[in-house]
Each structure stands twice: as C-alpha cells, then as structure tokens.
Amino acid sequence: MRTFLGLLLAVLLLAATPAAADYGADLCNKYLPPGTPCTCVGDILDNEFEEGELDPLLQFVRAFTSGLSGDEAAAQKTIDRLTAQHTQATIEGWLKRFEALSPETEKTCMFKF
C-alpha cells in the first residue's frame, strides 16, 4: 500500500511539472498581440527565458509597441518602471536574446517578432 501511494504521488508530481513550465504560452497570450501563435511561440520562449525574465520582457515589448501606436505617456511610465526594477543593461540583454529568436519562430511557428 505504501508503495502504491508513493508511486501515485510520483505520478502526480510528474504530471504537474510540464504545466508549471508552460509559462511562455501564458505570458505570450497575456502580453503579445492577438493572432500570435502562443502555443508554438511559448515553447520557444520557455526554452530561452526564465519566467522572471520573460514576464518583464514581454511587458516592456508590449509597452513599447503600444507607445508606438499612440499611448506614449502610459508606455513610458511602464518602461521607466521596468528599467528602474531591472536596469537598462538587463533589459537590453533580454531584448537581444528575444530578437535572436525571430528566425526560429519564423521557421517553426510561421511568426516573426
């Protein structure tokens, strides 16, 4: 009986692990524009970024793009907040890694950042 309970617990833990690692698709859906193939793109983002990096990065990208489309004051406020929290150098490093994924997302997901 103890062996059965141990196996059951192990199976439950293993089953929960992939769902916890699927933060890329969730954050993609939250921050990237509608029509982004987040199921595919999310896997690529998961492989490149930790959740603690990806969340502020995608907030930054969303703020930047919304600033380009007109809401400059709100976008700048978000960008300034994120820069104060993570430093400009850190965000620039994340952006370089993000941009480098474009060929992979284009080839794999038919989507270019």
Query: What is the percent of the chain with per-residue pLDDT over 70, rounded to a whole number?
Result: 81
pLDDT at 3: 46
Where is pLDDT greater, at 47 or 68? 47
Q: Average per-residue pLDDT in the chain?
A: 84
Q: In this structure, which amino acid lies at residue 69?
A: S
Which of 25, 46, 44 lies closest to 110 in space, CA to CA?
Answer: 44
Contact 57, 94 (CB under 8 A): yes
pLDDT at 70: 83
Mean pLDDT of 4-20: 41
Mean pLDDT of 61-89: 92
pLDDT at 75: 92
Q: Between vectors from CA 99 to CA 94 and to CA 104, what angle results, nearest 5°?
A: 120
Contact 63, 78 (CB under 8 A): yes
pLDDT at 41: 95
